[in-house]
Amino acid sequence: MFWDRIKPPFWDNDRQSDPRSLFNYRQVWKIIILCTAGASTLPLLLLTFMNLTQYQEAMHTESIAPVSRLISNTKRSITGFLKERSAALNFLVHNNEYEELIRQEHLARIFRDLKLSFGGFIDLGIIDSNGVQRSYVGPYNLQGKNYKEQAWFSEALVRGSHISDAFLGFRDIPHMVIAIKSHSRTGRDFLIRATIDTEYFVELIDSLGLRPGTDAFLVNRSGRLQTPSLLHGKVLEPMGFPVPAYSEHTEVLELEDENGNPLILGYAYIPDSPFIFLLTKEPLILTRQWSRLRNTVLFILGLSLVVISVVNLGVVTFLVNRIYQADTNRLAALHQAEHTNKMASIGRLAAGVAHEINNPLAIINERAGLIKDLLQFSPDYNNDPKLLKLVDSIINSVQRCSTITHRLLGFARHIDVSIESLNLGKLVHEVLGFLQKEAEYRDITIFTNIPEDFPDIKSDRGQLQQVFLNIINNAFAAVSDGGRIDITMGVVDQNHVRIAIQDNGYGISRENIKRVFEPFFSTKTKTGGTGLGLSITYGLVQKLGGTISVQSKEGEGTCFTIVLPVKA
């Protein structure tokens, strides 16, 4: 499985398997991952949230501020236009007598000067206090018309001046007027009335360069359009939504239209007039821009979280694994120290036992030799081969016991490190001598191939004995009864020799062959191996300046190759 390939070595470790282990590494790994992930991602999440909030507020302000500025500028333009025309009419009416103004030629000259100086005037008329237009200059036949019933007439007489909204009047077309009241020499009131070209407002709105989805227009206080609207109708039609509340300043509102769609509404009341300038804007473009920005920020956030998580997992896993390896090496050192101490104790015990056994064996050997001499020189027993054979059997058994005790003494003497000249062939045979009975009992065949010119090496006898004993013991455990073990020696170069120990046992799997030299790793699950033999062997070989490698195939066997220097 994929998890088995990437699973870190410490994952299956817990303190129950070895109470001397420092930590429960899986739990430590999880705690560190959570702490580092929280410490690294929480500020990023907070910053992202704050940035998105600030971006949204900035974009909202950016969408509102231009609308407010545009409406304020347009308000000033319209107000200036109306005030300028009202001031011109007010100047004319107060600097010309009524009798002069009602003369057609004089009024025509004034009208011509107004159009040349200011523009925006369609016609000009003088109306007496009874509402009769006494003099008129313009494109329509309005001489003598009576305006007494018109609302703007009464308003102008009462307030002194009046700017009307758009209405049809006698022309039957939408128009607006400015009327200024004055007094004749006789004290009677009269009005100067000018029709204003509303096309100026249309051109002013067109010059704003509005984007698609944006509409601007003038309405009166009752909500009827004073200029055509792209979205809400024609002149004098109702605009379709309530008139916003009066305010002296420019206002921008966020509303919903009749279909429930979001709408930005900005408006400004034009002072001293019945007009309200309105601008409506659909925030769809802003919404799309905000969506793109938000998606980009969230994508970067997600990518950053993935990178942080991968780096966090890798670094924490690496560090915890190093701690685990250090702890494993510590435990291995403890086990090796215990093993070395145990081996030393066994060596000392073996030396003591061998020494104590050698004394009675020597006595037995002497007494048996004496008995044999007596039997040989005695005429009664000289010809009794059975007795002589029994005595020879005793002497041979004593010699065999002596050989075994000498081997034990040999192992015991070489516990301390000592560099000496060694014959590896003899050393291997000494090790095999301890395993000879097991080999005979299990019918295991051992072949040794040692060249005659194989050189002696300078190394440590005790450590090499332990190396060969560990590997051959593993070979005995790997082969079945009737198996085979081959020990081959050869020269690599003038400075190195090679010893290969090969068996035809069950072999090692591809997954496990990479871990055979790790401390506490063992394939002897049934026999309860400690997992320290090959680890100690690997350390001893390296300590002696050599290398050890392994090749294996499941079901075919395993070969350990040791390369040692001629001079350690």
Is the pLDDT reported for residue 382 higher than 80?
Answer: no
Query: β-strands 484-493, 445-449: how paired?
Result: parallel
CB 459 within 8 A of CB 419: yes
Is the pLDDT reported for residue 299 higher than 60?
Answer: yes
pLDDT band at residue 303 using 50, 70 and 90 as cut-offs: very high
- What are the structure tokens assigned to 294, written together? 């938000």
Other beta carbons within 10 angstroms of residue 246's beta carbon come to 10
Average pLDDT over residues 516-542: 68
Integer Cα distance of 375 and 387 in angstroms: 8
Model confidence pLDDT, tens digit, residues 383-425: 667 777 777 778 777 776 776 666 556 555 544 557 888 888 8
DSSP 11: G
Integer Cα distance of 311 and 297 in angstroms: 21
Is the pLDDT reported for residue 83 higher than 90?
Answer: yes
Query: β-strands 176-183, 161-163: how paired?
Result: antiparallel
Domains 96-194 and 201-282 in one fold: yes
For residue 449, list its beta bridge partners. Answer: 488
* CATH code for residues 201-282: 3.30.450.20
Nearest alpha carbon to residue 464 among 433, 505, 420: 420
- What are the structure tokens assigned to 237, written together? 């039609």
Q: At what angle do helices 25-94 and 199-206 cross, to 10 degrees?
A: 150
Q: Residue 285: its pLDDT value, please? A: 60
Q: Residue 127: its pLDDT value, please? A: 93
- What are the structure tokens assigned to 228, written together? 């055509």
Q: Phi and psi of 95, rounded to 5°? A: -115, 10
**CB-count burial class (<10 Å; 0-12, 13-18, 19+) for 108:** middle
Average pLDDT over residues 127-145: 90
**CB-count burial class (<10 Å; 0-12, 13-18, 19+) for 496:** middle
Q: Report the CATH superfamily, name and number, of domain 96-194.
A: PAS domain (3.30.450.20)
Using CA atoms, how far residue 534 sits from 316, 462, 509, in Å, is: 30, 16, 16
Q: Hey, what's the torsion of the CAs at 307, 308, 311, 316, to 10 degrees?
A: -160
Mean pLDDT of the chain: 82
Mean pLDDT highest for which of 30-34, 61-65, 376-380? 30-34
Model confidence pLDDT, tens digit, residues 248-261: 999 998 887 767 77
Per the model's pLDDT, the better-predicted residue between 24 and 459 turns out to be 459
3-state helix/strand/coil string of 404-462: HHHHHHHHHHCCCCCEEEECHHHHHHHHHHHCHHHHHHHCCEEEEECCCCCCCEEEEHH
Q: Could you tell me what percent of the chain has a pLDDT over 90?
A: 20
Model confidence pLDDT, tens digit, residues 527-536: 545 556 777 7
Q: Residue 417: its pLDDT value, please? A: 58
Q: Which long-range contacts (CB under 8 A, 24 or more apart) does 301-309 make?
A: 301/44, 301/45, 301/48, 304/44, 305/41, 305/44, 308/37, 308/40, 308/41, 308/44, 309/37
Average pLDDT over residues 507-533: 67
Average pLDDT over residues 79-84: 92
Q: Residue 521: its pLDDT value, please? A: 63
**CB-count burial class (<10 Å; 0-12, 13-18, 19+) for 377:** exposed
Average pLDDT over residues 343-354: 63
- 3-state secondary structure at position 150: coil
Integer Cα distance of 347 and 417 in angstroms: 14
Q: Which fold has domain 418-568?
A: Heat Shock Protein 90 (3.30.565)
Nearest alpha carbon to residue 475 among 499, 457, 454: 499
pLDDT band at residue 71 using 50, 70 and 90 as cut-offs: very high
What's at 169, amino acid-wise? G
Q: Residue 84: its pLDDT value, please? A: 92
Nearest alpha carbon to residue 376 among 363, 389, 395: 389
Instruction: Measure the N-to-C terminal CA separation of the chain; round to a whole number of Å.
Output: 44
pTM: 0.49
Using CA atoms, how far residue 10 sits from 29, 218, 329, in Å, is: 9, 78, 13
For residue 268, list its beta bridge partners. Answer: 277
Q: Residue 414: its pLDDT value, please? A: 47
Q: Could you tell me what percent of the chain has a pLDDT over 70?
A: 85
Using CA atoms, how far residue 343 sits from 337, 353, 414, 431, in Å, is: 10, 15, 11, 15
Per the model's pLDDT, the better-predicted residue between 427 and 367 turns out to be 427
Domain parsing of the chain, residue ranges: 2-57+290-341, 96-194, 201-282, 418-568
Using CA atoms, how far residue 500 sits from 93, 164, 213, in Å, is: 128, 116, 88
DSSP 29: H
Is the pLDDT reported for residue 219 higher than 90?
Answer: yes
CB 160 within 8 A of CB 181: yes
DSSP 187: S
Is the pLDDT reported for residue 300 higher than 50?
Answer: yes
Average pLDDT over residues 475-491: 89
Per the model's pLDDT, the better-predicted residue between 381 and 298 turns out to be 298
- What are the structure tokens assigned to 303, written together? 């990518």
pLDDT band at residue 126 using 50, 70 and 90 as cut-offs: very high
- What are the structure tokens assigned to 53, written together? 């909030």
CB 217 within 8 A of CB 205: yes
Integer Cα distance of 519 and 525 in angstroms: 15
Is the pLDDT reported for residue 547 higher than 60?
Answer: yes
Average pLDDT over residues 333-341: 66
Which residue's structure tokens are 């685990």? Answer: 324
- What are the structure tokens assigned to 345, written together? 């104790």
